[in-house]
Copies of this chain bind each other. A is one copy, B any other.
């Protein structure tokens, strides 16, 4: 029987914008190692596939309206690759996914660090490939603004290609390490990339051996057209966003439909929409739990949650309608928010309350059975291969899902009852990662 995959998005304090104010939260948890350890160990106890860390190379929100930033916990965090390397030592099976930007990095560094994490973790590393769009990030790297969409994606595609090439620098059996003869490796099994492209010129080889997974798992968000194409071509997991089953189905069918031309079987790509799940023993208890956080949203922080896409709406009445944005940023996200507001005729306050938790992702509040129903519907209905769980706060919001929802999914046969396989790639049922240099040689023979 087909079973779903589960990831958890676990950066900082949790997904809800007021998470740090939750009565049971450690308010400085975004810089406490013990907080991250407790979170990942909960996810591993729940047999999750992946522990997923978002990232940005700069402060990830604007101080808009003024005062929002100092009321938010989206200011400081551990750097994901260092944190996951540490967390690899207190876990044994869960996948470790770090986000890293293709816009403000060099492929050699990224190839190295993920390869190193894959070795450290015994084959559990994954890279969430993103481009960086914000001006705050650009200004940390000598630019006033991010490159435009087409250029970012063109660079991202070449970046990923170079990284994969570097990951094939050494064949699996390149290292003989024969003490008697003194031969350390077989030179015929070392491949120098010598990449020359539009964005990068990278000689190689990588100074890290072929990794336990062959290559770390590739995760993408892939919302836009080029993003979807890249996901279909290269990703093992897509972290999707949809509010309704219809949207999820359309996205699922579109991305899976693009895979054939890359010679890929649809099953080898897991589409996992974000899902904020808030369980309670009764529906009332679940809603009461959620209200604890909703009531802690300062209006300035609420407005900031939509300002990133729709601009600063603080001049408009909070309880009036959502105006058409003047200078919308992040177009695909602005459209999601406006669609929500128009569909349900939301005021500005209602809109920010609606997205304050799931940030535009689907939110399900109810009994464990309600949540399992919601997941099963999408999983069996062509909308998802699994879910990236967005705990409203950490670690408690995750522990509730692990302790209440996971057992319900297991009872239904929808989720594993023990870890299987050796690597994250095994766990996901992803394609193996052939070494392109070996493939090319085989084709030539």
Binding site for B on A (CB under 8 A): 18, 20-21, 23, 27-28, 31, 33, 56-60, 69-73, 75-79, 81-83, 85-86, 88-90, 104-106, 108-109, 112-113, 115-117, 119-120, 136, 139-142, 170, 175, 177-179, 182-187, 190, 200-209, 296, 298, 301
- Residues from chain B with a CB closer than 8 A to the CB of A116 are 78-79, 82-83
Which of B21, B109, B120 is within 8 Å of A83, CB to CB? B120
Tell me the smallest distance from the CB of A346 to a CB of chain B, in Å: 23
- Residues from chain B with a CB closer than 8 A to the CB of A27 are 177-179, 184
Which of B106, B170, B200 is within 8 Å of A76, CB to CB? B170
C-alpha spacing A75/B204, complex, angstroms: 12
Tell me the smallest distance from the CB of A253 to a CB of chain B, in Å: 37
Which of B86, B106, B142, B175 is within 8 Å of A86, CB to CB? B86
Tell me the smallest distance from the CB of A85 to a CB of chain B, in Å: 4
Given contacts A58-B207, A83-B85, A104-B106, contact A187 B113 (CB under 8 A): no
C-alpha spacing A90/B85, complex, angstroms: 12
14 sampled A-B residue pairs with Cβ under 8 A: A18-B182, A27-B177, A27-B179, A70-B183, A72-B184, A73-B184, A75-B184, A75-B185, A78-B116, A78-B119, A81-B82, A89-B90, A104-B108, A140-B202
Main secondary structure of the interface of A (DSSP, over half): mixed
Number of copies: 2
Of all chain B residues, the one with the shortest Cβ separation from A69 is: B187
Whether A203 and B136, one on each chain, are in contact in the complex, defined by CB atoms closer than 8 angstroms, is yes
- Residues from chain B with a CB closer than 8 A to the CB of A79 are 112-113, 115-116, 208
- Residues from chain B with a CB closer than 8 A to the CB of A83 are 85, 116, 120
C-alpha spacing A82/B202, complex, angstroms: 22
Given contacts A82-B113, A82-B116, A89-B86, contact A207 B76 (CB under 8 A): yes
Whether B203 and A120, one on each chain, are in contact in the complex, defined by CB atoms closer than 8 angstroms, is no
- Residues from chain B with a CB closer than 8 A to the CB of A105 are 109
Given contacts A76-B208, A139-B201, A140-B202, 4 further A-B contacts (CB under 8 A): A70-B184, A76-B207, A82-B116, A82-B120
C-alpha spacing A105/B109, complex, angstroms: 9
C-alpha spacing A30/B170, complex, angstroms: 15
Whether B185 and A70, one on each chain, are in contact in the complex, defined by CB atoms closer than 8 angstroms, is yes
- Residues from chain B with a CB closer than 8 A to the CB of A202 are 139-142
- Residues from chain B with a CB closer than 8 A to the CB of A72 are 184
Whether A140 and B179, one on each chain, are in contact in the complex, defined by CB atoms closer than 8 angstroms, is no
Which of B73, B204, B298 is within 8 Å of A140, CB to CB? B204
C-alpha spacing A243/B335, complex, angstroms: 68
* A-B pairs, 8 with minimum CB distance: A139-B203, A85-B85, A79-B116, A27-B177, A89-B89, A82-B85, A82-B116, A108-B140
C-alpha spacing A301/B183, complex, angstroms: 11
Most B-side CB within 10 Å, residue of A82, A85, A187, A203:
A82
Whether A201 and B108, one on each chain, are in contact in the complex, defined by CB atoms closer than 8 angstroms, is no
- Residues from chain B with a CB closer than 8 A to the CB of A183 are 70-71
Given contacts A71-B183, A78-B116, A207-B59, contact A108 B177 (CB under 8 A): no
C-alpha spacing A220/B23, complex, angstroms: 46
Tell me the smallest distance from the CB of A396 to a CB of chain B, in Å: 15
Tell me the smallest distance from the CB of A14 to a CB of chain B, in Å: 14
Whether B86 and A120, one on each chain, are in contact in the complex, defined by CB atoms closer than 8 angstroms, is yes
Which of B70, B75, B109, B119 is within 8 Å of A207, CB to CB? B75
Tell me the smallest distance from the CB of A434 to a CB of chain B, in Å: 20
